[in-house]
Structure 1
Amino acid sequence: MTKDTTQWYASWFNTPYYHTLYKDRDHKEAELFMNNLTAYLNLPEDGKILDLACGKGRHAVFLNGLGYNVVGADLSESSIAHAKQFENDRLTFKVHDMSLPYGEKFDAVFNLFTSFGYFEDDSNNLKTIKAIKDNLKPHGFGVIDFMNVDFVLDHLVAEDEKNINGITFNQKRSYSDGHIVKTISFTDEGQHFEFKERVKALRLKDFEHMFNAAGIYLLDVFGDYNLSKFSPKTSERLIMIFN
């Protein structure tokens, strides 16, 4: 069976295979980033944060542990179903389309770990920026943690394999039509699967254009989770702070 839809994220993120492939993500790195970011933003102690495209909730859970009131929102029903086990009176998870306003106001809205640029229609990327603005309190901060496209392209590994839980995932990466594309193929219990991750290759100037169109002010740009100065060629990340 092969699964390959136009809205790749709607199918791929909802499969157990997605969570298997990425089960070893670096939690210590995520916690370092959240500590550095919340200290930099100087959020109020009881501040309210929206973790937009939260996945299974690893950032949201840690932020809640720091004392914040956190809402985790994601389009993937399976991710939210998993994350709900961590809920408490200051941590909730809901299925939500990030291109639409959430309907509440937050001290900060975080969009982390390259959870942007999924839409084929550029207008939906702009809609997401506008939705983030709509979700912010008057003095709230928006944060988008995206890949640094030039660094990714310079270090792109064309093909590799990962064996996890007895499944061999073949991963092929390419740059095509303004997108960075990863094709993931594997066989499990005699069935063949293929999924694509397709993320628009957005650079800082592209975000600046969307920010201007949305009436958003870019405050600062960092290049890694230590919040070092951004360098277009050498930084691994493109982390933008705005309001």
Structure 2
Amino acid sequence: MDWFADWFNTPYYHILYKNRDYKEAQEFITNLLKYLCLPVESKILDLACGKGRHSIFLNKLGYNVTGVDLASKSIESAKQYENEYLKFFVGDMRKVYFPNKFNAVFSLFTSFGYFNNEEDNFKVFKSVFDQLKYEGIFVMDFMNVSLVEHNLVEKEDKMVDGILFHLRRKIESGFIIKDINFFDKGKDYHFQERVEICKLDYFKKLAEKAGFILKNVFGDYQLNTFEEKQSPRLILIFKK
């Protein structure tokens, strides 16, 4: 089983990351929507939506939102929030489910770079392209791997809900790897996250091959200019 199919579908993933900054995430989406000027009737695909926190916020702002994620348990949790204009589905980001349906597709908070080959990475871009309407917008929000490489925290221990998570990070074979070890209810656990070192030029190559036009690049959630040596994020705006 791929690491993401295993790890993202466990309750421990949500425990470890329970203290993520939801306010910052909502401010980013608000800034993004202001920049994009998307009409309220727009249809948005939230790719790798998890339990749907961003989809739910987008829907509260008035948008018609579809959330797709590979983790069946996350989608099961998200479905309790469904309404006429908010739907969730189990699905693979490499596949096309809704041809020419969306005005915008959002890939938020580093939901990319999980695969072991460029062919799968390209499949993601191609599936997004095929599901967008003409002149639709694709937003790719990725970590700035140059900054992560320079400031890698190799060892970290985090106590969350009575569980001590031992986090070990390394760079190997073009991936940033995080090993996650912990003990709970009489059992030892080990999971791993692997995110490919994808930089701006690589995204440009994938996008051009899929048929996208790069419209803008930002470096943080306030949509400031991207600076490779200091920006915390790499946010790319593509147009079909």
TM score, norm. by length of structure 1:
0.96
Structure 1 match to 2:221: 225
Q: Deviation of residue 165 (structure 1)?
A: 1.1
Q: Map Cα deviations across residues 151-171 of structure 1 (whole Å, 9 max, x no partner).
A: 111111111111111110000
Q: Map Cα deviations across residues 176-220 of structure 1 (whole Å, 9 max, x no partner).
A: 100000000001111110000001000001111111211111110
Q: Deviation of residue 85 (structure 1)?
A: 1.1
Structure 2 match to 1:40: 35
Amino acid at match of 1:99: R
Are 1:132 and 2:122 an aligned pair? no
Are 1:72 and 2:67 an aligned pair? yes
Superposition CA RMSD, Å: 0.8
Q: Deviation of residue 63 (structure 1)?
A: 0.5
Q: Deviation of residue 51 (structure 1)?
A: 0.2
Structure 2 match to 1:122: 118
Q: For the residues of structure 1 that align with 2:157 and 2:34, how far apart are their CA atoms?
A: 38
Instruction: Please list, as runs of the form range in 1=range in 2, the aligned pairs for 1:1-243 lying within 5 A after superposition.
Output: 5=1, 7-104=2-99, 105-243=101-239
Q: For the residues of structure 2 that align with 1:136 and 1:214, how far apart are their CA atoms?
A: 12
Q: For the residues of structure 1 that align with 2:52 and 2:92, how far apart are their CA atoms?
A: 16
Q: Deviation of residue 82 (structure 1)?
A: 0.8
Amino acid at match of 1:18: Y
Q: Deviation of residue 102 (structure 1)?
A: 2.2
Q: For the residues of structure 2 that align with 1:175 and 1:202, how far apart are their CA atoms?
A: 13
Partner SS, residue 123 of structure 1 = helix
Q: Deviation of residue 120 (structure 1)?
A: 0.8
Q: List runs of 5+ in structure 1 lacking aligned partners.
A: none
Larger CA deviation: 102-111 vs 170-179: 102-111
Q: For the residues of structure 2 that align with 1:26 and 1:144, how far apart are their CA atoms?
A: 19
Amino acid at match of 2:176: I
Q: Runs of at least 4 residues of structure 1 off by over 4 A?
A: none
TM score, norm. by length of structure 2:
0.98
Q: For the residues of structure 2 that align with 1:119 and 1:128, how far apart are their CA atoms?
A: 10
Q: For the residues of structure 2 that align with 1:102 and 1:39, how far apart are their CA atoms?
A: 28
Q: For the residues of structure 2 that align with 1:72 and 1:103, how far apart are their CA atoms?
A: 12
Q: Deviation of residue 139 (structure 1)?
A: 1.6
Q: List runs of 5+ in structure 2 lacking aligned partners.
A: none
Amino acid at match of 2:147: F
Partner SS, residue 33 of structure 1 = helix
Partner SS, residue 146 of structure 2 = helix
State the aligned residue count.
238
Q: Percent of pairs identical after alignment?
A: 53
Q: Deviation of residue 68 (structure 1)?
A: 0.2
Partner SS, residue 137 of structure 1 = strand
Amino acid at match of 1:121: N
Q: For the residues of structure 1 that align with 2:208 and 2:42, how far apart are their CA atoms?
A: 27
Q: Deviation of residue 38 (structure 1)?
A: 0.8
Amino acid at match of 2:143: M
Q: For the residues of structure 1 that align with 2:86 and 2:185, how far apart are their CA atoms?
A: 37
Partner SS, residue 141 of structure 2 = strand
